[in-house]
Structure 1
Amino acid sequence: MPELRVGDRQWSVAPAANLLDALNDAGLSVPYSCRAGSCHTCMVRCVSGDPLDAAPDALEADKRAQGWRLSCQCRVTSDLTVEIFDPLRDGLPATVVGADWLSASVLRLRLNPERPLRYRAGQHLVLWTESGLARPYSLASVPGNDPFLEFHIDCQRPGAFVDVARRLQPGNPVRLGELQGGALHYDPDWQDRPLWLLAAGTGLAPLWGVLHEALRQGHQGQIRLMHLAREPQEHYLAGPLGELALQHPNLHVESIELADFSAVLSGLRVTSRQTIALVCGSPVSVEAFSKRLFIAGLPRSQLLADVFVEKG
C-alpha cells in the first residue's frame, strides 16, 4: 500500500485513497469547502511523489510547478510526501480595517493586505483566521478603485468561521490564501450586449464588483440585475443599487423575495440571443436561474455561474 508522509508522521493508505480524506482521517484537519476543485481551501504541497490529479488545470502553472495540489481532487497511488498549507508561512498577512453590518445577517468585512493584491472583479480568496479556520469568499471590492478588499459574509447560520467573523474588529489580523478566478468576470467585448447579473443572497457580492467594472468600462448594452432574498430586509445593497440605477439609465435593478421566485422565473424572457448572463448564489438558486435561462433560449456558452457551497 502507498505510504503517505507529513512532517515526521508516516502511515499506509489504501491504494487510490482520496488525499484530502486520508489527511483528515489521520487527524491533520485540512480545511475544505466545495470538494469540487473550485474553492482551493484544501491546497497541499507535494514534496516528493505525485498523486493522481483529477483536475490538473485547476491551479495556475506556476503553482503546480511549486508542487501545490488540490487534495480533494487527488488520489494516492504511490508513496507521497506533502506539506499542508500553513497560513502563517504561506498566507498573505492582512488587517481588518472595517467590520460593519449591511443587514441583520450580512457582515461587510474590509481588509488591508500587507502588500497590494492584483485581482479582477469576480475572483475569490480563502480567508484564514488566527485560529486556523479557513473559508473561501468572493471579492466585492473593485480593483483599481477600492483601497481595501471587501467581502460580504452571510452570518444567518451559525458556523465555526462565521462565529469568528462576527467578533472581528478593526486592527485584527487575518491571513489570505490562494486568489482564484472563478467563473465570473467582465469582458470588454461584451460592451454592446445585454448583460444579466442574477444573484441570490450574498451571491450578490462578486456581481457587485462585476457591475462596477462594467460601468467603469462604459458598458453600452442594457444591464439587468436581479437579487433574490428570503425577506425584503435581506436586499442588503438595495440603497446603493438604486442610486446606481438613477445614475445609469441602462441599469435596471429588480429585488425578488423567495415567495415570488417561481413566478418571476416563469416570466423570464431572453429577448436577445446576444445576452450574457452571470449567475451566483446557492446551488438551488443557481440551478433554478440557469434552467430557466436555457429554456428561454440563452445559449449555454453565454451563461457563467459560480456556486456558493454553504459551510460555516
Structure 2
Amino acid sequence: MPELHVGERHWSVASGSNLLDALNLAGVAVPYSCRAGSCHACLVRCQGEVEDKQPDALSPAQRQEGWRLACQCAVSGDVRVEAFDPTRDGLAAHVVGVDWLSPTVLRLRLQPERGLRYRAGQHLVLWAGPVARPYSLASLPQEDPFLEFHLDCRLPGEFSDRARQLRVGDSLRLGELRGGALQYDPDWQSRPLWLLASGTGLGPLWGVLREALRQDHQGTIRVIHLAHDADGHYLAEPLAQLAAQHASLTVELWTAAQSAQAMAQLRLVSRQTLALLCGHPASVEAFSKRLFLAGLPRNQLLADVFLSRG
C-alpha cells in the first residue's frame, strides 16, 4: 500500500485514495471548499506518485514547483506532502474596512502589504488563522485602492464566525489568486451583456459590471439579482445609481417568491447576448436551463458556482 509522509508522520493508504480525504482523515488540516479544482484552497506541495485529474488547473510554473490540488489527486504510490503554509507562502494583508451591507452580507476590505495584480471576477483564498476560504473579488483594480469581498454570513461556519469578529487593523493572509470563469472582454463592446446573480454571487459581477462601464460598453447591459427577500438586495442603491447614470443599463431585483414566474418570462432579444452567472448551484442551474431554452448558445454563457462551507 502507498504511504503518505507529512513532516515526521507517515501512514499507509489504499491505492487510488483521494489525497485530500486521506490527509484530512488522518488529522492533517488541509482546507477546501469546492472539491472541483476551482477554488485552490486545498493547494499542497507533493513529491511522489499521484494521479492528477486536472493537470491544467495550475500553471506550469506551479506544477514544476510540485504544487497540486489535493482534491483532484489520487494516491498511486508513496507521496511526501507539504501543505500550503500561509505564514510562509501567503501574502500579509490588513483589514481597512469591515461593515454590513445587509443583515447577512459582510463587506470586507483588505490592503495587502504589496500590490496584487488581478482583474474583476477573480478568486482569492483568504486565511484567518488556520481557516481558509476562497472568495471572489468585488473590487476593481483601476478604481479601488483595496481588495473587496462580500461574505455571506447567514449561516454559522468556521470562516464566517471569524469574519464577524474582524476589526480595522486586524491581519489576514492571502493565498492563491486564480482566474475564475467571470471576466469582461473588450471584444464584447457592442454585444448585449446579461449579468445574473444570486446572493453574494453579485460580488464578482459588481466588479465585472463596473469594468464594462469603465470600458464604455456600447451594448445593453441587464443585471438580475435573485435574493431570498427584499433585504437580500444588498447593492440595490448603488446599482440604481449606476442605472440612473447609464441609459443602457437595466437592473432587476428578484426575490425567491417571484423567481419562478420571472424566470419563465426571460426572453433573448439577440442571439449575440453574452451571459455571466454566479451564485448558489441551484440558482445558476436554473438560470442556465432557462437561457438555453431561450436559445442562448452554450459558448456564450460563463458561470461560477458558490459552494458554501462558511
Asked if these proteins are the same fold (TM beyond 0.5), I'd say yes
- Tell whether 2:241 aligns with 1:250: no
Structure 1 position 234, deviation (Å)? 1.1
> Structure 2: how far apart are the matches of 1:13 and 1:285?
38
Q: Map residues 43-192 of structure 1 onto 2, 5 A cutoff.
A: 43-46=43-46, 48-130=47-129, 132-192=130-190
Aligned counterpart in structure 2 of residue 211 of structure 1, from 201, 209, 212: 209
Matched to 2:29, the amino acid is: S
TM-score by length of 2: 0.99
Report the 3-state secondary structure (helix = DSSP H, G, I; strand = E; otherwise coil) of the residue aligned with 2:55: coil
> Structure 2: how far apart are the matches of 1:109 and 1:236?
14
TM-score by length of 1: 0.98
* Residue in structure 1 matched with residue 32 of structure 2 by the alignment: 32
Consecutive unaligned residues in structure 2, runs of 5 or more: none
Identity of aligned residues (%): 67
Matched to 2:285, the amino acid is: E
The alignment of Structure 1 onto Structure 2 pairs a total of residues equal to 310
Report the 3-state secondary structure (helix = DSSP H, G, I; strand = E; otherwise coil) of the residue aligned with 1:28: coil
Aligned counterpart in structure 2 of residue 202 of structure 1, from 172, 195, 200: 200
Q: Map residues 285-300 of structure 1 onto 2, 5 A cutoff.
A: 285-300=283-298
Report the 3-state secondary structure (helix = DSSP H, G, I; strand = E; otherwise coil) of the residue aligned with 1:79: strand
> Structure 2: how far apart are the matches of 1:288 and 1:140?
23
* Residue in structure 1 matched with residue 277 of structure 2 by the alignment: 279
Matched to 2:260, the amino acid is: S
> Structure 2: how far apart are the matches of 1:49 and 1:232?
52
> Structure 2: how far apart are the matches of 1:220 and 1:27?
54
> Structure 1: how far apart are the matches of 2:229 and 2:13?
48
* Residue in structure 2 matched with residue 14 of structure 1 by the alignment: 14
Matched to 1:40, the amino acid is: H
Structure 1 position 291, deviation (Å)? 0.3
Structure 1 position 233, deviation (Å)? 1.3
Which has the higher mean CA deviation after the structures are superposed, 8-17 or 191-200? 8-17
> Structure 1: how far apart are the matches of 2:199 and 2:245?
24
Structure 1 position 50, deviation (Å)? 3.5
